[in-house]
Amino acid sequence: MKTLIPRAFGTAANLARAGSAAEYANDLVRRTLAQHGLAPQTKDTVLAPRSAGPTNPRSAKMAKGAKPTSATGMPDGASFTASNFSCTEGERRYLTYLPASVSDGLQGLVVMLHGCTQTPEDFAAGSRMNALAEQHRLLIVYPHQSRGENAQSCWNWFRRGDQMRDRGEPAILAGLAEQIAARHDVPSDKVFAAGLSAGGAMAAILGETYPEVFSAIGVHSGLPVGSAKDVPSAFAAMSGNPMPRASTQRAPAARAIVLHGTADSTVHPRNGHEIVAQALEAGPVQTLQTEDRGQAAGRSYTRNVTVDGAGIALVEHWEIDGLGHAWSGGSPDGSYTDSKGPDASAEIIRFFLV
């Protein structure tokens, strides 16, 4: 998730000419990340962390009536467990945070998709989403992309086979969400997905390919659907030159909240605008757009909101001044976070629960 530079294409291109596309892609990503100090992790095991609940007790609000925090860092009655999901398209491990406030009834399910080189535990800590789960009675699911599926644990948003319905990772993630929602009696219109970077790009794909499963998505520092077809075009898209998509008839996509930093040098902010355009592409003809500027935690921002005729927000687009490739308002307990700026997690949940 660091800036990826063109020099890395040299050796990788030689490998491609030698006839090994997989070796080409892996070598490209490995060398580029290594140049920026992101050495691969040596373990690929998902275990619930010791402090699996709210990672910053000073800033985490406990839901009304929730029990005191235990020695594990979670409220008594909460759980953070590891499981495995499989279907015809493959399998993935995942973590589930079930809040102590579940006794009052769940208000929704949020699938959280981590970025490259991250883990579910890391993403949970940085986003502080488990604290919001307690506050809003939400079930949070953190799927895990293993190194066996991608050398740097990235969701494969740039592969054709992982950009369409009933195929690859979208089918796996939609199946996982449906299974867990059914198990916990979560209403079908209260299932959501959000992600950072590669995870954000995959959330955008889910919003377009499975709008009947995910009623809203959150895309932080992500990329539009179909903006790449392989590793070279992925780097082009990240630099702000996504592949053009053929104009075809599409079903309306899920409602979307899009957040991007103006100083993001890894995924160009232009991608945020493209995601917004895609989200509105098959929407209603008549909409109303409003814009406001504000400041939060030391960063100014511009927020554009597009609503339909009933006043329901279809898309919110946040451009956060000076923010790089990081989760806005996140906790330093996780990677790729910036404590300054609007609280991305809180804004995403607010948008979801309208």
The three-state secondary structure class of 251 is coil
Task: Report the chain's mean pLDDT, rounded to a whole number.
Answer: 83
280-306 tens-digit pLDDT: 988 888 899 999 999 999 999 999 999
pLDDT number for residue 248:
62
DSSP 327: E
What length does the chain have? 354
Q: Are strands 191-196 and 108-113 parallel, antiparallel or unpaired?
A: parallel
Residue 177 to residue 20: CA distance in whole angstroms: 35
pLDDT number for residue 176:
98
110-168 tens-digit pLDDT: 999 999 999 999 999 999 999 999 999 999 999 999 899 999 999 999 999 999 999 99
User: Rounded to the nearest 5 degrees, what angle is found at the Cα of 57, between the Cα atoms of 348 and 324?
Assistant: 45
User: Which pair of tokens denotes residue 166?
Assistant: 């009933």
Domains, the chain, in order of start with CATH, read 40-352 (3.40.50.1820)
Q: What is the mean pLDDT of the segment spanning 184-204? A: 97
User: Which pair of tokens denotes residue 260?
Assistant: 């991007």
Give the count of alpha carbons within 13 A of 315, CB side only. 28
Residue 165 to residue 163: CA distance in whole angstroms: 7
Of 278, 303, 305, the residue nearest 224 (C-alpha): 278
Q: How far is CA 306 from CA 16, 331, 342, in A?
A: 44, 29, 19
Structural contact between residues 125 and 55, judged by C-beta atoms closer than 8 angstroms: yes
Which residues fall within 8 angstroms of residue 43, CB to CB, at 6 or more apart?
none
Residue 213 to residue 254: CA distance in whole angstroms: 9
pLDDT number for residue 171:
98
Position 99, amino acid: P
Residue 86 to residue 73: CA distance in whole angstroms: 30
DSSP 292: E
* Tally of helices (H runs) and strands (E runs) in the chain: 9, 12
Residue 314 to residue 280: CA distance in whole angstroms: 8
1-28 tens-digit pLDDT: 433 333 333 333 333 333 444 444 444 4
* 261 bridge partner residues: 320
Which residues fall within 8 angstroms of residue 285, CB to CB, at 6 or more apart?
none
64-117 tens-digit pLDDT: 434 444 445 688 999 999 999 999 999 999 999 999 988 888 999 999 999 999
User: Which pair of tokens denotes residue 123?
Assistant: 């993403």
User: Rounded to the nearest 5 degrees, what angle is found at the Cα of 274, between the Cα atoms of 269 and 280?
Assistant: 135
